[in-house]
Structure 1
Amino acid sequence: MSLTSAAGRLRDSPRATLVGGAAASTTIAVAVTLAGPIPGVILPDGPLGLWRAADHGRPAWSVVALLGITALSLIFVRLYLLARDQIVDVRWAVRTAVVWTLPMLLAQPILSLDAYSYVAQGQLLNVGIDPYLTGPIVFGAGPLLDPVAPIWRMTPAPYGPLSLSLLGWSADITGASHVPFVLLLRVLSIAAVVAGAVAVARLARPGSQAAAVALVAANPIVVLHLVGGVHLDVLVGTLAPVVLLAVRKRWWWLAALTAALAFAIKLPGLVLVGYVLLARFRQREARWAGTAAALAVTAAVTLAAAAAVPDGWGWIAALDTPGKVEILYTVPAAVAGVAYGFITLTTGGVTFRELLDWSRVVCALAGAAVIGWLIFRGGEPHTPARRAGVLVGSALVVLALAAPVIHAWYLSWGLALLAACAGIVGHRWLIALSVALCFTALPDPLTRWHHGLLPLTLLLVVVALALTFWWVGDQRDPARAPSRSRVGPVEGAGDAAPAPLRGGEACRVRS
């Protein structure tokens, strides 16, 4: 056997994919911890001191973390291809996702400090201070303020009242202690991912369930950010397919209830609310009465959530909080950069900051128009369910891209819908976006020129995306492919039982 053939067999081995992803995930959890937080932040030691940063060599650990993120992203692409080509089944995809996620269970919040803001905001609510008016700075230096990112210490919470209620409840039962608080939210995140994976398997086309589940459960965005980073966005992404299923079943009360809950968690839920109301209004049967009933359910849930916290509508005024961060890899920043370069070469006389402000407005208006068109098309009565899922999922992704700031976990808003409902071409773009966004949250030394590591980061981003597009662009049709090794039972193969794995080889599909 040639070296090239052996490398190819290893690359396409389900077990090598499972083990390699687990090694990459473990490396990331350890290296990110040892790389330490940004300057000015003091993190708790964590369980058994597992959250302590290294005393020396933090830039080197940052590089190790970067290599781990690159490896996990590419191994995820290989897992998707194995699932797409029906070499592995749903059970194997789930097993792989579980093994990849295990290293995150006791790790510190990975690649984000938002969880520490959650603790402080929940405790603000518990002590009677309005989190929509002030930030954690009111606690002063100490365990509640020290782990919070400096930029968020004086900013109010931009989350919906249901999110705030959840944070207050979590802070109350954990005594606002960071370790139990993070572990509790991580359990809730895992439960949400499981529920989302079940909904995705139900929505996906026959024969593509394994690929769809792999996209949702084993996606590095999910493993590293939704579970590892403990972000509440996972709740919106989990409710989205439930909304679609309820609309398709014409369970309008459930659709309105679920969409309203998503909106009470975070702003993207408003897209789901709009979709439900438009879809109900375009039904000829009891159009006005049915729409009024759906609207009444939406209003009741929204008002109840707002009444559960003081100043329940205060979060609307705080929605500009994320936009206070200037991130140069957003769509508005890219548009402003192109305009700035053109104007500088011609007339000049305008600053990048001015163009960025205008670009954010233009992108917001354009995004709103596209979102409106997408949910209008998705709400057509005769639109197939999966087509509607693609349109609504795309609307949620457009919202993320048109926003003043984008984070990796924003992709989770539409991830489940697109994974379940999009075809192979849609999956390609979803995978590429997942890989690209994995590099938007990195240890601090990797994103600053003075450490000399930013060129390495950019190089690995280019390499990862190039390999991703190369691999997912493979037009191989599994239905016409010769006999291939696979793991798990053949979908739709009746009672045929698979042979056990032997020596690392998977059983062959019987023709």
Structure 2
Amino acid sequence: MIATRPAELPDDQRRAGVSKAHPRWAGIVSVVLRLLLLALAGVVVQVGWVMVWTLSYRLTHGNDFTYVYLVTQSVVWDHLRDLLALANTLAPGLEGPDGPVSLEIVVNSLVLAFVVTSVGYVAGVVLVDVGISAVRGALAVVVLFELLFQVTLFLSPGLFTTDIFSYVMYGHISAVYNLNPYIYPPNYFPGNPMLNWIHPIWWDQPSVYGPLWTNLAWVLAHLMDPLNGLTVTLDDGEVLQVGLMDQVFVYKLAMNVVQLINLALLWWLLGRLMPQRPRARLTAFTMFAWNPLMLFDTAGNAHNDALMVTLLLLGVVPLTLQRRVTNVGWAVGTFFVGLSALIKYTTCIVGLFYVVPWVRRLATWPSRIGWIGGTGLVIAATAAILFVPWWDYPRSLQPILTAADGKSWQFSNSAPDVFALEFDNKFLNKSTPAPSPDEVAYSYAELYATPTLPTVRIWTKWITRGIFALYLIWECIRLWRIAGDRRRSLIEPILEASVRAFAVLIVLVLPWVLEWYWFWPLALATLLGWRRQLSLVIVGYTLTSLPIFYVHHYWNWHMPSMLVLVYAFAPLAVPVIGWLWRLLRRARPQVPVNARLRPGLGLE
């Protein structure tokens, strides 16, 4: 039998076969383009960090560290020279034969660098949030760029803080000299070369950190003992303290590892809190992972607040393990929050917001006394054990108590202090003409110290603290009422209260404000998600504080006080904008974002 030739497929069937292949390739191309957009945002952030990396050479707070680093690491120095030449081409005068033409051009360039990182950061988060880049592979892009950012900042030739030098010095006091860092300040050891690396205002300051950090510094100092006294002698006889540089990098490495742990904890917690919202989970993760402030002051400057964040996040973990939090979960979570407060006391606020709803959920007074009292005893016992090696009452507590109240000169980046200065200068001393800088100490370009200012500042402190105390009472009452509904989850109300309280504490109460304090609310706000107005407010503070605070640092009293008010109030515009947006949305029909995107390409 002769086989017959099969008939050709009809045109419509051939077209159907082609159309099946076309969407597959179109989908792949679409995903790649969406990932490239996210990568482009990451490139913008990286450009900003390269700018910061280059400028750190001129703006470093540790001249000795930077000098030793660049002399001993010729590869880094070669790359830095190339970048400085490029920078001078783009901004003539930034790096001439005799250095920058002025400090102003360098500081302005730093502000521009922070703006560039912020633009790339916001673009990346928004691309994921609206679904454009929320596709398979987006998490890998976010993580890879985050690692690139960390490596870049870790290798910075300059440091924008001297706190890390104090960490090393307090470790030397406790481990090398076997003395009490809560009693003996750095200037007690004039022969230690690290003293000259520390900012002079901290030479007479014993340790202000909690016993957990002091013991960790003791452990690290013992581990780094072989590095003590390690030097390199140059051909001209100059001696470089290479061992001290290495110890600084050990602390930087430790905090970079802590940052990676924080990322892992956040990704896991977001999975527990947003199990049915993968896009929201990825957006929130990006919100934290790419945050310029978090990267700058953890990967670059190695502030120990990053470890406080780790312990705060560990405190949230037990609350997410079961639908109804057990008493053991409450106890373990409160314990980790207590450990965080043993680095810096400020996170005690979160512990308060754990205890209040927990007490409400406990049915009887015996159970309340048993569980709350028992947990308190465990935390107190842990603090006592950690403090035993350094206990010398009352001298051991004096530095921490002084830090809590603030020294007489510790006023910076505080909006209430600006108002206090305005009131004092305009009303109590309104007949006094504006003096010259040689006659009085200026706090800002237009505000100066007067004989009545100390009294005004004391009253301002007590008024703001009183307001904060009333506010905490309100938050506790609110949590107590919410906890009365046993069907309701308490995780979100606790996170909201903690984030709000941190924001009020930093903006209203603390007279000496540093930008890395915003680590505390940022980590907890991340667990609420990007689209919460409260989270956007906190992100706003992280983005405004970074450039403004460093302008204040380098310009000193020449900076106008208005910039502090911009930092304090600009992020609060977010709720106002949100309210106006809701009004506009009510006035017109809504088209969901997903309807404008190709179906099946965005994570929901």
Q: Which of the five TM-score ranges fits, normalised by the shorter chain?
A: 0.7 to 0.9
Q: 1:81 aligns with which of 97, 110, 126?
A: 126
Name the CA distance, whole Å, in 1 between partners of 2:373 and 2:601: 48
Instruction: Rate the CA distance shift 1:208–1:42 in 2: closer, same or farther, 3 A.
Output: closer
What is residue 151 of structure 2 aligned with on the other side?
A: 102
Instruction: Rate the CA distance shift 1:244–1:378 in 2: closer, same or farther, 3 A.
Output: farther
What is residue 358 of structure 2 aligned with on the other side?
A: 280
- Work out whether residues 312 and 337 of structure 2, in 8 Å CA contact, stay in contact via their aligned partners in 1: yes
> Does 2:492 match 1:386?
yes
Q: 1:430 aligns with which of 526, 531, 538?
A: 538
What is residue 523 of structure 2 aligned with on the other side?
A: 416
> Does 2:344 match 1:231?
no
Q: 1:158 aligns with which of 198, 205, 208?
A: 208
Q: 1:31 aligns with which of 55, 64, 69?
A: 55
Deviating beyond 6 angstroms after TM superposition, the runs of 4 or more aligned structure 1 residues are 51-55, 345-350, 472-478
What is residue 499 of structure 1 aligned with on the other side?
A: none
Where relative contact order (Cα < 8 A, 6+ residues apart) is larger, the structure is: 1
Name the CA distance, whole Å, in 1 between partners of 2:417 and 2:64: 27
What is residue 46 of structure 2 aligned with on the other side?
A: 22
What is residue 419 of structure 2 aligned with on the other side?
A: 335
SS in 2 for 1:146: helix
Name the CA distance, whole Å, in 1 between partners of 2:245 and 2:601: 41
Q: Which runs of 5+ in 2 are unaligned?
A: 1-32, 82-94, 229-242, 433-449
**Alignment deviations for residues 434-474 of structure 1 (CA, whole Å, 9 cap, x no partner):** 11111244278842467xxx57x959x88xx69x969x978
Matches within 5 A, 1:177-326: 177-201=243-267, 202-203=269-270, 204-205=273-274, 206=277, 207-247=279-319, 249-250=325-326, 251-285=329-363, 286-311=367-392, 316-319=397-400, 320-321=402-403, 323-324=406-407, 325-326=409-410
Instruction: Rate the CA distance shift 1:369–1:191 in 2: closer, same or farther, 3 A.
Output: farther
- Work out whether residues 110 and 224 of structure 1, in 8 Å CA contact, stay in contact via their aligned partners in 2: no
TM-score by length of 1: 0.81
Superposition deviation, residue 31 in structure 1:
0.6
RMSD: 3.8
Which amino acid is the alignment partner of residue 86 of structure 1? G
What is residue 14 of structure 2 aligned with on the other side?
A: none
> Does 2:212 match 1:170?
no
**Residues matched between the structures, number:** 475
What is residue 480 of structure 1 aligned with on the other side?
A: 593
Name the CA distance, whole Å, in 2 between partners of 1:34 and 1:304: 44
Instruction: Rate the CA distance shift 1:170–1:104 in 2: closer, same or farther, 3 A.
Output: same
Which amino acid is the alignment partner of residue 475 of structure 2? L
SS in 2 for 1:144: helix
> Does 2:501 match 1:400?
no
**Alignment deviations for residues 123-157 of structure 1 (CA, whole Å, 9 cap, x no partner):** 11111222112321112165211110111111111
SS in 1 for 2:161: coil
- Work out whether residues 60 and 159 of structure 2, in 8 Å CA contact, stay in contact via their aligned partners in 1: no
Superposition deviation, residue 386 in structure 1:
1.8
Name the CA distance, whole Å, in 2 between partners of 1:163 and 1:193: 17
Name the CA distance, whole Å, in 2 between partners of 1:137 and 1:478: 65
Which amino acid is the alignment partner of residue 112 of structure 1? T
Name the CA distance, whole Å, in 1 between partners of 2:248 and 2:546: 21
Instruction: Rate the CA distance shift 1:327–1:445 in 2: closer, same or farther, 3 A.
Output: closer
Which amino acid is the alignment partner of residue 56 of structure 1? G
> Does 2:452 match 1:351?
yes
Instruction: Rate the CA distance shift 1:336–1:277 in 2: closer, same or farther, 3 A.
Output: same
Superposition deviation, residue 284 in structure 1:
2.4
Superposition deviation, residue 314 in structure 1:
5.4
SS in 1 for 2:593: coil
- Work out whether residues 162 and 199 of structure 2, in 8 Å CA contact, stay in contact via their aligned partners in 1: yes
SS in 1 for 2:131: coil
Q: Sequence identity of aligned pairs in percent?
A: 17
Instruction: Rate the CA distance shift 1:458–1:342 in 2: closer, same or farther, 3 A.
Output: closer
> Does 2:130 match 1:56?
no
**Alignment deviations for residues 336-355 of structure 1 (CA, whole Å, 9 cap, x no partner):** 13432552487999633331
Superposition deviation, residue 396 in structure 1:
2.5
SS in 1 for 2:194: coil
SS in 2 for 1:421: coil
Name the CA distance, whole Å, in 1 between partners of 2:60 and 2:308: 30
More off after superposition, 427-436 vs 154-163: 427-436
Superposition deviation, residue 68 in structure 1:
0.9
More off after superposition, 244-253 vs 215-224: 244-253
Superposition deviation, residue 484 in structure 1:
4.4
TM-score by length of 2: 0.69
More off after superposition, 219-228 vs 183-192: 183-192
Q: Which runs of 5+ in 1 are unaligned?
A: 1-8, 493-511
Instruction: Rate the CA distance shift 1:157–1:445 in 2: closer, same or farther, 3 A.
Output: closer
- Work out whether residues 36 and 443 of structure 1, in 8 Å CA contact, stay in contact via their aligned partners in 2: no
Superposition deviation, residue 48 in structure 1:
1.1
